Each structure stands twice: as C-alpha cells, then as structure tokens.
Amino acid sequence: MRYQSSEREPRNNQFTEGNSSNYCNTIFEVFTHGLGPEETDEVVSTLRFFSPKKVEVKTLEEIPQSFFNLIRHQYDGLSITKWVNSLRTMRDSVVLGVMNVDAYVEPLNFIFGIALPELNTATVYVIRLRIGVPKKEFLVRVRKEVVHELGHVFGLRHCRSKFCVMCFSNSLADVDKKDFRMCNTHYTELRNRLPCVSEELLLRT
C-alpha cells in the first residue's frame, strides 16, 4: 500500500503549472541506503527521464533508530521522508530517498513509497519489491516506484488506468501490472510543468 496523502495538492511547490523559472533546471539530491551499485545506477538512470540539470547521489550508512517501530518491526515512512528532506544541501532541489527497508504510515500496513510535494521530497522503500522476482524484474519495479513518487512531487495525482505508472498500487501484483510510463493525460500534465520531460515516459497505446 501507499501513503494516500501523497495525493494532496502541492503547497509552495516550485513545479506548479505556469511556473517556468525552474524548467529544465531540476537538481536531484538522492540519498540511498542498503542499495548495491547496479540498483543505484537504476535509480540514476530513471531520473534521466526528467532531464535533470544535475544528479547528486549520497550513501547513508544508517537510518536513525528512533524511526524504527519495535512493535511493527518497520520504519516510520513519514519520519524518514522528513528526515531525508532535512539532509538537502540545495534549497530548490528535489530530494529522493531510496531505502532497502520496510516502512509504513498509519493506518496502512506498509508503503512502497511516499511523496511530500510541499517539500519537493519523496522516498521509496524497495525491500518488498525484491519479493518473488529476479534482479532484472526487481529493477523494473524500482523504476516504476521512483517515477510514481516523483510524479507526485511534480504535482500529479493517482490515475484510474491500471497501466499508467501513476496508478495506485495496493500490492506487488498492481506494481507488476502497470508500466513505468504515464498515460497521455498525466504525461501532458507533467509536461506542462516540466517541458523537458522525456517522451520516453509517454505510454503509447
């Protein structure tokens, strides 16, 4: 499951429609935890769809144990996301955390990711994405979740099409069913906010 409040309207977000001051100048600050080199490369490769000006990757050695729920044996996803946001070094960057841990947000059992558009920050939790698939398919799942959460950062809501990457996923089956690309409606909305976004993110049917 996902944190459904990621559907909230962005507040004080630099990527709202009609704001051209940051077109094609997006800087991503990426914070990873527990990822291998190939997995980190997949995250960086996925970011190229957004035509960033710069991508900076930093490895986190540990996550504060104060975010770990001893009863649930999971991390508090909202607290991690706010913490990762606090690590930013550039005011107008987009911050992305990709963590090899299991996370939740009340009242959900678990989350694949969470976006806080008002902070230009998102996190993705990949440990469940590893379940039942070989490495190649795991990386595809990671790509989908990164694009999905960044879509929320850039102001997109969930999609009703089960094939669009912006479709809400309750399970791994839902993740596998959808593409890493967007339906025409969501792609057009994203392009209005980020004109340099790659056409490779357009799902052609």
Instruction: Please report, for residues 16, 115, 157, 164, 198, the alpha-carbon distance to residue 99 in angstroms, rounded to integers and kept in the order given.
Output: 27, 14, 23, 24, 26
- CATH of residue 46's domain is 3.40.390.10
Which pLDDT does position 198 carry in this prediction? 96
Distances (CA, A) of 45 to 88, 143, 188: 21, 9, 22
Question: What is the domain range of residue 85?
Answer: 4-201
Summarised one tens digit per residue, pLDDT across range 142-162 is 999 999 999 999 999 999 999
pLDDT of residue 10: 39
Q: Is the per-residue pLDDT at 23 higher than 70?
A: no
Which is it for strands 27-33 and 54-59: parallel, antiparallel or unpaired? parallel
Instruction: Examine the pLDDT at 20 and tell me if it is beyond 50.
Output: no
Average confidence (pLDDT) over 111-133: 98
Q: Is 134 exposed, middle or buried (0-12, 13-18, 19+ CB in 10 A)?
A: exposed
Give the span between the Cα atoms of 40 and 34, in whole angstroms: 10
> What pTM value is reported for the model?
0.90
Average pLDDT of 161-171? 96
Q: What integer best gives the mean pLDDT of the chain?
A: 91
User: Looking at residue 15, what is its pLDDT?
Assistant: 53
* Residue 56 appears among annotated catalytic residues: no
Q: Categorize the per-residue pLDDT at 183 as very low, low, confident or very high, splitting at 50, 70 and 90.
A: very high
The span from the CA of 81 to the CA of 99, in Å, is: 10
For 81, phi then psi, to 5°, come to: -65, -45
Taking a C-beta distance cutoff of 8 angstroms, is the pair 160, 183 a contact?
Answer: no
Helices 37-47 & 135-153, crossing angle to 10 degrees?
40
Over residues 110-126, mean pLDDT: 98
Look at the chain and report how many structural domains it folds into.
1
Check 56, 149, 189, 199 and give the catalytic one: 149
For 66-108, write each residue's pLDDT tens digit: 999 999 999 999 999 999 999 999 999 999 999 999 999 999 9
Token duo for residue 74? 């999971």
Q: Using an 8 Å Cβ cutoff, are 104 and 125 in contact?
A: no
pLDDT higher at 16 or 186: 186
